């Protein structure tokens, strides 16, 4: 299988491109199902598995949470809805189906 070129996308104000890689949980076995914000992704089209990593075809966007905005969000004063993607992975380990949520995105 050949690697596809990265897909470019616009990063909204208040967010940043966090990276394209996620490390699989230790002992994760096939079948592996990858989700971005709860939406199932397609192997080969949206990501590839390389060793113990998931390599996405595009940058994963995370929200910048700093200063006054973070304080307002914690207090519930003003709603800020920047793009903040979460990566979840369903996998098998020791014959059981497991789910790892909000995995760390790496450059």
Could you tell me the CATH number of the domain that includes residue 89?
2.60.40
Provide the domain count of the chain: 1
The verdict on residue 4 lying in a domain is: no
pLDDT of 80: 55
Domain membership flag for residue 92:
yes
Nearest to 22 by CA among 88, 90, 94, 82: 88
**Which ranges of the chain have pLDDT less than 70?**
1-8, 65-82
pLDDT of residue 96: 98
Q: Give the global pTM.
A: 0.80
Q: What is the pLDDT of residue 92?
A: 98
Expressed as residue numbers, the domain containing 74 is 15-106
The radius of gyration computed from the CA coordinates of the chain, to the nearest angstrom, equals 16
């Amino acid at each position: 299988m050949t690697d596809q070129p990265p897909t470019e996308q616009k990063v909204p104000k208040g967010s940043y491109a966090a990276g394209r890689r996620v490390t699989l949980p230790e002992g994760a076995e096939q079948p592996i199902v990858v989700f971005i914000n709860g939406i199932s992704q397609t192997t080969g089209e949206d990501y590839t598995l390389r060793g113990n990593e998931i390599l996405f075809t595009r940058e994963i966007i995370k929200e910048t949470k700093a200063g006054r905005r973070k304080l307002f969000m914690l207090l519930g004063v003003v709603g800020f809805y920047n793009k903040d993607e979460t990566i979840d992975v369903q996998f098998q380990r020791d014959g059981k189906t497991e789910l790892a949520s909000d995995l760390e995105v790496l450059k």
